[in-house]
A and B are shown apart, each in its own frame.
Chain A
């Protein structure tokens, strides 16, 4: 477990952190700029010193105000990927990669060859950092941090300084590294897109405080967090597997615990785990099974909760059986349809809304999730509407 329980006043920011994170998988620290996310991981790294509390990673205490423990940065055994890469300009790419490797203590679990292979660094090794593109630089920075043999990897908005094509280039590498190297990752981001593609655990940071912490799909599905995530970005996350492709129409059918979804074609083999983020504003509701509509993703469920929002909106959580789906509709529609907790409804999601930005690798198979077992029989009552 990673126990973060500390505070620090930094100018106008009053950082008060109290979360426990799993010691495996990717934990995202999500929040707006200036919310204190970077200060938080800088305290874990030892760059910012808390004024009280405790920081513990596994068995190792990094900081404990009461006992006076404060490990120096270099003794914490962390890898840190900065937003601005921070490669050493006087060293080649290979020299940068070796910098941490040479200084790593204990047994080396992350090998040179695997890092070079996973991050695609082979043809870059002899180059100098200032000759690299932004995306290449960030990949080298990630490799350098991994070869340092860290027990925890910190990533501070590693994609924020990249343009969209570079982001799309680096993101798959990050997805892969979390799968390939069994290593807990603390990932700071203000992009809900990145978070849903990468994270298993989500911590929401707001005004210096850790206001929510839990499993990603769980935190995302709770309407009370919508204002923190942003009305237009808030939604549900479903873990699915690829069922089949329809090459004629360039579509892919996904299966999850409560049914199927049809999305624009994704290049993954059937059986591959994927994660789909469905924004609440892309979900419509109907009282009866909708016919004669263009929408193919139609899933039945029951209203679980209705949360009125400011202005015209209402957040409706629909229980699909084992998963929930959130819909953002107007309060007027809500009243017109007479929605109440328990009302049976049909949810509708346009395939077009589920573009590549919303669909990503699911990074690790979750044995507890039936969605990850491709041979599980279809649940009765979950008609394959996508067929």
Chain B
């Protein structure tokens, strides 16, 4: 493998990990709101969260561009306050991947939260645990299989994100050119077929590894909870 493949692979792994980590706390919070709260705007929130699943990725990328670009108020504020610029940067790729992967993670976590036996939470409270204590000592551990498979799914989806990334963060080598963008670039380059094929093989190997790991983790945690 040459430099192009390595750069793309490392960047993709970095983006996948960062986007998964960024999604996780918000996904748990949103799953909680959707599953447990009696929030008045619940249906609306549900719709917004799931929009990236049904909208063309380019649309998401464009929406990100007009809201977080350096000339948009939010983007300008981010830049002046924290010195963070999202367009044309790896951070921007992370945000685009996170937005696209978010609904997948929320779905998996929400399902696991729905399957948590409320009776166990009541039992924990009779044993002296406050609501917050119950969340950390009972609810989250019981959600672990769903949290892990949600995280793996978000990671895999982030690796493959293309449309929103190229629209929002552009295609800059070493900065925003992840595996799919590198494949696209190779196919647009004369004599790029060999590179493209190697990148495709790499992507497939990564996908298989991610799915295998996800299945294994899921089985392990389910067994840990005594579900077979």
Residue ranges of A at the interface with B (Cβ–Cβ < 8 Å): 45, 47, 72-74, 77-80, 82, 84, 86, 88-90, 99-100, 103-105, 128-131, 144-145, 148
Q: A74 near B130 (CB under 8 angstroms)?
A: yes
Which interface class (under 10, 10 to 19, 20 to 34, 35 or more) fits B? Answer: 20 to 34
Partner of B126, one of A45, A84, A104, A128: A45
Can you list 11 A-B pairs, Cβ within 8 angstroms, ordered by A?
A47-B122, A72-B125, A73-B125, A74-B125, A74-B128, A74-B130, A90-B141, A103-B128, A103-B129, A131-B226, A145-B127
Render B113-126 as a binary contact track against A, CB cut-off 8 A, 1 for contact: 00001011011111
Contact B123 A105 (CB under 8 A): no
Asked if A100 and B226 make an inter-chain contact with CB atoms under 8 angstroms apart, the answer reads: no
Set A88, A105, A145: member contacting B124, Cβ < 8 A = A88
**Complex-state Cα separation, A72 to B129, whole angstroms:** 10
Is B138 located at the chain interface by the 8 A CB criterion?
yes
Query: Are A89's CB and B226's CB within 8 A?
Result: yes
Residues of B contacting A103 in the complex (Cβ-Cβ under 8 angstroms): 127-129, 133
A73 and B122 form a contact (CB under 8 A): yes
Instruction: List CB contacts (< 8 Å) of B174-228 with chain A.
Output: 224-227
B residues apposed to A, CB below 8 Å = 117, 119-120, 122-130, 133, 137-138, 141-142, 144, 224-227
Leading 7 A-B pairs by shortest Cβ distance: A130-B226, A103-B128, A100-B127, A80-B126, A86-B123, A73-B125, A90-B141
Closest residue of B by beta carbon distance from A86: B123
Q: A99-B127, A103-B128, A105-B128 are in contact. Are A90 and B225 (CB under 8 A)?
A: yes
Do A90 and B142 touch across chains, with their CB atoms under 8 A apart?
yes
CB-CB under 8 A from A45, the residues of chain B are: 126
* Nearest CB in chain A: distance from B144 CB, A: 8
Query: What distance in Å separates the Cβ of B50 from its nearest Cβ neighbour in chain A?
Result: 30
Q: Chain A: which residue is nearest B120 at the CB level?
A: A86
B126 touches A129 (CB 8 A): no
Q: How far is the CA of A88 from the CA of B137 in the complex (A)?
A: 10
**Residues of B contacting A100 with CB < 8 Å?**
127-128
Distance of A104 Cα from B226 Cα, bound (Å): 27
Contact B119 A82 (CB under 8 A): yes
How many A-B pairs fall under 8 Å by CB?
65
CA distance A366 to B17 in the complex (A): 69
- Are the C-beta atoms of B127 and A144 separated by less than 8 Å? yes
Contacts known (A89-B142, A90-B142, A128-B226); A84 close to B119, Cβ less than 8 A: yes
Best-surrounded residue of B122, B126, B144 (most CB of chain A within 10 A): B126
B129: A residues at CB distance < 8 A: 74, 99, 103
Given A128-B226, A130-B226; A104-B120 close (CB under 8 Å): no
Tell which of B122, B137, B142 touches A99, judged by Cβ atoms closer than 8 Å. Answer: B137
Q: Which residues of A contact B226 (CB under 8 A)?
A: 89, 128-131
Known: A89-B225, A90-B141, A130-B226. A82 touches B128 (CB 8 A): no
Q: Cα distance A345–B117 when bound, in Å?
A: 58
**Assembly CA distance A49 to B141 (angstroms):** 28
Q: B123–A148 contact, CB under 8 A?
A: no
Chain B residues within an 8 Å CB radius of A73: 122, 125-126
Closest residue to A96 on the B side, CB-wise? B127
Q: How far is the CB of B200 from chain A (nearest CB, A)?
A: 41
* CB-defined contacts of B227 to chain A, threshold 8 Å: 89
B-chain residues with CB within 8 Å of residue A148 when the two chains form the complex: 126-128
Most-contacted residue by chain B among A100, A104, A148 (CB, 10 A): A100
* Cβ B126 vs Cβ A78 within 8 A: yes
Known contacts A79-B126, A80-B126; 13 further A-B pairs (Cβ under 8 A): A73-B122, A74-B126, A77-B128, A80-B123, A84-B119, A89-B225, A90-B142, A90-B224, A90-B225, A103-B133, A129-B226, A130-B226, A144-B127
- Name the residue of chain A whose CB is nearest to the CB of B117: A86
B219 to chain A, nearest CB (A): 15
Alpha-carbon distance A80/B130, docked complex (angstroms): 16
User: B144 contacts which chain A residues (CB < 8 A)?
Assistant: 90
Known contacts A73-B125, A129-B226; A86 and B130 CB within 8 A of each other:
no
